[in-house]
Copies of this chain bind each other. A is one copy, B any other.
Amino acid sequence: MIYLDNAATTFPKPEMVYEAVLNNMKNYGANPGRSGHKLALEAGRVIFKGREMVCRLFNIDDPMQVIFTCNATEALNLAIKGVLEEGDHVITTSMEHNSVMRPIKSLENNGVENTVIQCDEAGGLNPRLIERAIKENTKLIVVTHASNVTGTIMPIEEIGEIAKRKNVLFLVDAAQTAGVYDIDVKNMNIDLLATAGHKGLMGPQGTGILFIGEGVEVKHFKEGGTGSKSQELTQPLMLPDRYESGTPNTPGIAGLTAGIEFILKEGLDKIRKHEEEITSCFLEGVKNIPGIIIYGKQDATKQAAVVSINIGEEDSSEIGYVLDKVFDVGIRPGLHCAPMAHKTIGTLEQGTVRFSFGYFTTKEEVKIAIEAIRNIKEEVI
């Protein structure tokens, strides 16, 4: 199959990711941070190394500020619900994924107000609108680094500057950008960074990351065994233990660590340039097919390697079905768990046919996909 669904999860992973997972499971599959024997210590070391790798990638000082979660959704829930309390106000955008929108909507029941900044039809965000929405009780700004529907890259540096100046916490959802785009939590004034481990970071599914900036108070929502302060019946408040109760996903984190090592070895620039080239190639190809609607910026330097299209008014799911069955091209049609983003770009009813590329996507694959779209277009209209 030609796999063009990398915004859902990257596939394949680098060989060293598979090897790291298997090596952990087969050779030191003990419980990290629990016992003190050799295998347990080795398992603990790979997790600590993972934290260090995350630090290197995002310019974080202290590995203890890196929390491993089971996915980006958990990281976002933890950050959003851990920070916001009754009477607080949160600002977000109309391009967010349900992993941001649903927690924020649910907090309305707890007396947390929200403002959703309307983005333009290409998914673009004017940071001044965020600044203007800040009120006395605004505690948090939550913005995706790039839309999972249109790929549109958000001006997070400018928002970080605003957040810092206004003394508001800033949470970035980097699920679509980590491992491809430069993210520097210090320079960008990011207080909380949530991301998936299995997308651009090339780790296995079942992994996510939350960075918690110094002095940011985040409530936990799970308690349990932490391997620390075992004699106490209350959750220890030290990081990262406070947020990592129970046995972690050690093989997953071992794989994620290898994924980040691979990225650091290749270099973000090389990875991003490849993805830009692929995206550019795809955009040019589909622009040449009459009757194809392309959403978003339509500019590979202004969007992550995600392109949403439609073929006239055809149902996106049907196009997805044909791409899979007839052309062996795997994409994701529909709403991509981001209904407000689809409302923003005008596709809430139709959904879109989303193509998303990765570091291992080749131009040949993209060309086959373009030809498939052309064929479907000629068939249906």
A230–B77 touching, CB < 8 Å: no
**Once the chains bind, are B102 and A71 in contact (CB under 8 Å)?**
no
- Nearest-neighbour CB distance to chain B for A369, whole angstroms, equals 12
Q: Is A235 an interface residue (CB 8 A)?
A: yes
For the complex, is A247 an interface residue (Cβ under 8 Å from B)? yes
Q: Are B105 and A233 in contact (CB under 8 A)?
A: yes
Chain B residue contacts of A205, Cβ below 8 A: 29, 31, 247-252
Structural contact, A99 and B224, CB atoms closer than 8 A:
yes
The answer on a CB contact under 8 Å between A21 and B330 is no
A26-B18, A73-B224 are contacts. A40–B231 as well, Cβ < 8 Å?
Answer: no
Residue A225 is within 8 A (CB to CB) of chain B in the complex: yes
| A257 sits at the interface (CB 8 A) | no
Contact B8 A34 (CB under 8 A): yes
Asked if A150 is at the interface of the complex by the 8 Å CB criterion, the answer is: no
A225 to B: closest C-beta gap in Å = 3
Interface residues of A in 119-161 (CB under 8 A from B): none
Given the complex of chains A and B, what is the CA–CA distance between A8 and B21 in angstroms? 19
Q: How far is the CA of A334 from the CA of B30 in the complex (A)?
A: 17
A204 near B25: Cβ-Cβ < 8 Å: yes
Partner of A21 from B73, B251, B332 at Cβ < 8 Å: B251
Whether the pair B8, A35 counts as a contact (CB closer than 8 A) is: yes
A22 to B15, CA, bound (A): 11
Q: Count this chain's copies in the assembly.
A: 2
Instruction: Check A13 for interface membership: any CB of B closer than 8 A.
Output: yes
Q: Are A231 and B331 in contact (CB under 8 A)?
A: no
Q: Is A232 part of the binding interface, using a Cβ–Cβ cutoff of 8 Å?
A: yes
Chain B, residue nearest A8 (CB): B31
Inter-chain contact A332/B34, CB cutoff 8 Å: yes
- For A206, list chain B residues within 8 Å (CB): 70, 206, 247-252
Assess the A39–B1 pair: CB atoms within 8 A.
yes
Closest to A196 in B: B247
Which residues of the partner chain B approach A72 to less than 8 Å between Cβ atoms?
246-247
Q: A22: which B residues are within 8 A, CB to CB?
A: 18, 21-22
Q: Is the CB of A103 within 8 A of B223?
A: yes
Residues from chain B with Cβ under 8 Å of A338 in the complex:
225, 230
Stretch of A50-58, A277-285, A299-307, A316-324 contacting B (4+ beta carbons < 8 Å): A316-324
Within 8 Å by CB of A74, from B103, B246, B250, lies B246
Contacts of A198 in B (CB 8 A): 247
When distances are taken between beta carbons in the complex, the residues of chain B under 8 Å from A97 are 224-225
> 8 Å CB contacts to B: which residues of A286-331?
317, 320-321, 323-324, 328-331
Cβ-based interface call for A335 (8 A): yes
